Chain A
Amino acid sequence: MTVRKNQAQLTAAEKRSFVNAVLELKRTGRYDTFVTTHNAFIMSDTDDGDRVGHRSPSFLPWHRRYLLEFERALQAVDPTVALPYWDWTVDRTPRASLWAPDFLGGTGRARDGQVMDGPFARSANRWTVSVRVDGRDFLRRALGAGGRQLPTRVEVDAVLAMETYDMPPWNSASDGFRNHLEGWRGANLHNRVHVWVGGQMGTGVSPNDPVFWLHHAFIDKLWADWQARHPRSAYLPAAGTPNVVDLNDTMRPWNDVTPADMLDHTRHYTYDTAA
């Protein structure tokens, strides 16, 4: 069984295995198909039209399945690899070991935002940004630029306390747990982390930065934590909602998985801590 661990607890060997598997997916072209898929959904999910991957109730089950696909691809390269998660309420500065050269590398240089160290620096020639929205082919970051702050544990706990999964109009204007976790409303958790990292992480092609997976693995864990705190709260909406993925509707692009199928993560993996 796959165990997803806090990235801060990984051994040097586990970090190396993860990085090497990611680089191998990049080399074969498989990695970039994930970037393309994410961007297609982020550009087409709209508040008043069909919405599946973002700004909708299926934000959480969609990303759970998306991460599962990526994790399975990693495991096809190296069966010992699991997705780590980044608890950005704890490891909240650019000095965290996450950003060291033996793992993801650090922030970008001032001149052009280019990441200059670590395995994903352009100069190492193993990480060319191919699926892109502008002319730059190097990984960029601006960690905490402009004095931005990552969400705090207090802010996370306030969102985890919300009992209702999601509410009409089931989009970026909704009240409830999902939209507060996604960040379009309230203290802003998930969206703010994308902005804090900067570079490609702030764009529609955010999976170009491998930290995307560690960020979303933690968002996924917060969903599991929320379920443990609210065992009587269900995924909503249940049925018959235009433009929105109801509990038993299938989700694009896979068309063989429903939110109901994704509610229990323990069928696929567990976390290193009790919820």
Chain B
Amino acid sequence: MSTITRRRALGAAASAAVGIAAGRALTAPDRAEAATARPDAAAPETFDEIYLGRRIQGGPQGGGHHGGGHHGGHGGDYAVRVDGEELHVMRNADGTWISVINHYEPLATPRAVARAAVRELQGAPLVPLTLV
């Protein structure tokens, strides 16, 4: 329940901010981020930044703040959030990453996946999704 409240609050703020950045989002894909990840990469870094007006965070999950949502579906141990809402991500065998927003296009790092999701969302809020 608190998740929805937070999403609404942050989503509204993010929508206002992203309007300014939307043009850039469409024309500046991070090509460098698409480089192939090295195999057997170490655990990916923790990050927390504002990208195109939205807060993206990534790091090992397991903190008390995790709501037990859809992330459990694939047994991953790393969580990515966009404006506080969890973005479902998955690590491929070769160390590359995908998300539910870009599911067919592996990128090198979770941060690259989070940034790609922000560009693809064009200001829209993520919707919590449960496995049925």
Contacts and interface: CB of A to CB of B under 8 A. Distances in A.
Contact of B124 (A49, A135, A191): A135
Contacts, number: 91
B101 interface: yes
A133 B129 contact: yes
Given A49-B75, A135-B127, A202 B90 contact: no
B20 interface: no
Most central of A43, A44, A48, A194 by chain B CB within 10 Å: A43
Contacts of A194: 103-104
B79 to A, nearest CB: 14
A42 interface: yes
Q: How large is the interface on B (under 10, 10 to 19, 20 to 34, 35 or more residues)?
A: 20 to 34
Contact of B75 (A42, A46, A135, A195): A46
Interface class of chain A by DSSP? loop
Interface residues of A, number: 38
Contacts of A202: 101-105, 120
Contact of B127 (A133, A173, A190): A133
A46 B90 contact: yes
A134 interface: yes
B29 interface: yes
Contacts of A171: 93
A208 interface: no
Interface of A: 36-37, 39-40, 42-49, 55, 110, 112-113, 132-136, 146, 169, 171-173, 183-184, 190-192, 194-195, 202-206
6 contacts: A43-B88, A46-B76, A49-B74, A133-B88, A202-B101, A206-B104
